[in-house]
Amino acid sequence: MAARNKVLTTGFFRDRSLDFRTRVVLGAAVHGASEPGAVLATVGRVGGHHAWYREWCATAEATERAAIGAREAGHLVSARGAFLRAATYWACALGGVDAFREKHTEEILLPTFRRHRACWDAFVDCSGGAHQRVSVPYEDTTLPGYLLRPDDSGRPRPTLVVTNGSDGALSDLWSGAGVAAALERDWNAFVYDGPGQQSMLFEHGIGFRADWEAVLTPVLDTLLTRADVDADRLTGYGLSQGGFWLPRALAFEHRLRAAVVDPGVVDMSAPWTRQLGARLAAQLDNGDRTGFERGMRLATRIPALRRTLAFRARPYRHDNWFDLYTTVRTYRLLAADGARVRTPLLIADPEGEEFWPGQSRHLAGLVREAHLSAFTAAEGADRHCEPLGRLVVEQRVFDWLDDRLAA
């Protein structure tokens, strides 16, 4: 038994980020957003970060060609599935862009993203009218959104509103945030790019904001104008960093009947500050801009670290380390914010949470009504966002949401 499960405990790669990305794309297969054979064949050709980008581009190219051929031949079901998988594979390639030098990153990031989004849009267009683009008015622009429905009947349904994480693609939400599971249960699901996410960052240069109620409220305002959305059965799902944004928004926005966060996030800066070391942390705490900048310049002489931090820093829109870290540390849910949350929350608490360990329990102690749900290695649903345990997660999540709506 130990030998059989070795790959799940030691990983597909020694590199933690490549291993996690592999688990995510392999888990997407449960709802057709990837093909296990294609995933294993692709990662089998990967020897490092640069090869990750190259090999996933090759797999995405081949899958996209197959999708176009099926569409041209009138095989829309086949085309729809292949475009969804191609979108997933282009998103995998996009996740490897941070391995390149900064100048090269700028050259390949936007074209790679556009290939991904074109495949996602083609998937939507091959749905026979079931899936629709829905733009959300937001300040002086609009947010791109998609209402994904079981069919084109237009009748009102419960609707799951999904808030993504920091750098995930919309196609990741199909299997990774309950979208396909919602449609299987005759629900709608709404996905969108908020400020700092995907198209809003790459195409428009709009960065993150902590006060996500300024985002969720116009999203709900838009959905509630539609006859195919049941106003009394709106629910929410916050994935990864969305596990901070959604509770923060719910402190001020009370129209969701119930919501899920996976995991719960109270202090988004924890992964950033955990690796600083005592001296840099003290300089940041004491407002020593000069000392902190000097220390970070020394630390980021390591090229891989510098590229990773630069890629992660992009959505915060700062050009120096001190202001970046100072801003990231404002992304915290205060006790007063938690006390304002009226919406019942299911909070996923996966064993082995890599980024925000312990914060799901912390969040559960801040809000009025919380159900903490542990996911374990024994059931194959451990680690951040349970990438290889999606069906286990969906059963528990949607049974709980159904019970909340029935109540």
**Residue 13 pLDDT exceeds 50:** yes
Q: How confident is the model at residue 357 (pLDDT cuts 50, 70, 90)?
A: very high
pLDDT of 5 reads: 56
Q: Where are the domains of the chain?
A: 1-126, 130-268+331-407, 270-328
Question: Which CATH number applies to 1-126?
Answer: 1.20.1440
Q: Whole-angstrom Cα distance, residue 351 to residue 348?
A: 10
pLDDT of 354 reads: 94
The CA angle 26-31-36, to the nearest 5 degrees, is 30
**Residue 4 pLDDT exceeds 60:** no
Q: How confident is the model at residue 104 (pLDDT cuts 50, 70, 90)?
A: low
Cα–Cα nearest to 360, from 240, 218, 183: 240
Average the pLDDT over 346-367 and give the result: 97
**Residue 50 pLDDT exceeds 50:** yes
Enumerate residues 6+ apart whose C-beta is below 8 A from 138: 195, 215, 218
Q: Whole-angstrom Cα distance, residue 51 to residue 29?
A: 22
Q: What backbone phi and psi angles, to 5 degrees, belong to 241?
A: -60, -20
pLDDT of 305 reads: 73
Which residue did the predictor score with more confidence, 318 or 306? 318
Take residue 302 and report the two structure tokens written for it: 């390591």
pLDDT of 277 reads: 87
Q: How do residues 61-94 score in pLDDT, each as one tens digit? A: 999 999 999 999 999 999 999 999 999 999 999 9
Q: How do residues 320-356 score in pLDDT, each as one tens digit? A: 999 999 999 999 999 999 999 999 999 999 999 999 9
Which residue did the predictor score with more confidence, 359 or 276? 359
**Residue 99 pLDDT exceeds 90:** no
Q: How confident is the model at residue 3 (pLDDT cuts 50, 70, 90)?
A: very low
Q: How do residues 145-194 score in pLDDT, each as one tens digit? A: 999 999 999 999 999 999 999 989 999 999 999 999 999 999 999 999 99
Which CATH class, in words, describes the domain spanning 130-268+331-407? alpha beta
Enumerate residues 6+ apart whose C-beta is below 8 A from 326: 284
Enumerate residues 6+ apart whose C-beta is below 8 A from 27: 175, 176, 386, 387, 388, 389, 390
Q: The whole model's pTM is what?
A: 0.95
